[in-house]
A and B are shown apart, each in its own frame.
Chain A
Amino acid sequence: MRIKFLAIPMLSVLLLALLSLPTSAKNYQINVNGMVCEFCAFGLAKKLRKLDFIDSAQFEDGIKVDIENQLVYISIQEGQPLNQEVIFEAIKSGGYDPIKMTPIDEVASPAEVTQ
Chain B
Amino acid sequence: MKQLIALFVLFTIGSVSSQAYAHQPVMDMAPRWNGGYGAQTRITHANDTTTTWVEGVYTFKPALRMTLKVPYSDGKTGDAILAMPIKRYKNDGASTSNWGLTPSVRMPTGGGSNWDAGLSLSYSAESKDYYQLYDVYRLGDTTGIDINAGMSHADGKGSSWFTLWDITARDSDSGQYLLSGPVLVYFKGNVIVRGEYKFAVHDNDKQWDGDYLSIGLGMVF
Instruction: Report A's interface with B, CB cutoff 8 A.
Output: 33-44, 46-47, 66-68, 70, 93-97
Contacts and interface: CB of A to CB of B under 8 A. Distances in A.
29 contacts: A33-B92, A33-B93, A34-B90, A34-B95, A35-B96, A36-B94, A36-B95, A36-B127, A37-B126, A38-B154, A38-B159, A38-B187, A38-B188, A39-B30, A39-B220, A41-B158, A42-B158, A42-B187, A42-B189, A42-B220, A43-B31, A47-B33, A47-B34, A68-B156, A70-B93, A94-B32, A95-B32, A95-B62, A96-B91
Contacts of A97: 91
A93 B29 contact: no
Of A38, A44, A68, A70, most B-chain CB atoms within 10 Å? A38
B190 interface: yes
Interface of B: 29-34, 36, 61-62, 89-96, 126-128, 152, 154-156, 158-160, 187-190, 192, 220
A36, A42, A47 — most chain B CB neighbours (10 Å): A36
A70 B94 contact: yes
Contacts of A68: 128, 154, 156
Contacts of B187: 37-39, 42
A44 B36 CA distance: 11
B160 A38 contact: yes
Please give me the 8 A-B residue pairs with the lowest Cβ-Cβ distance, nearest first.
A34-B91, A34-B96, A95-B32, A43-B33, A95-B62, A33-B91, A93-B34, A38-B160
Given A93-B34, A97-B91, A36 B96 contact: yes
Contacts of B220: 39, 42-43
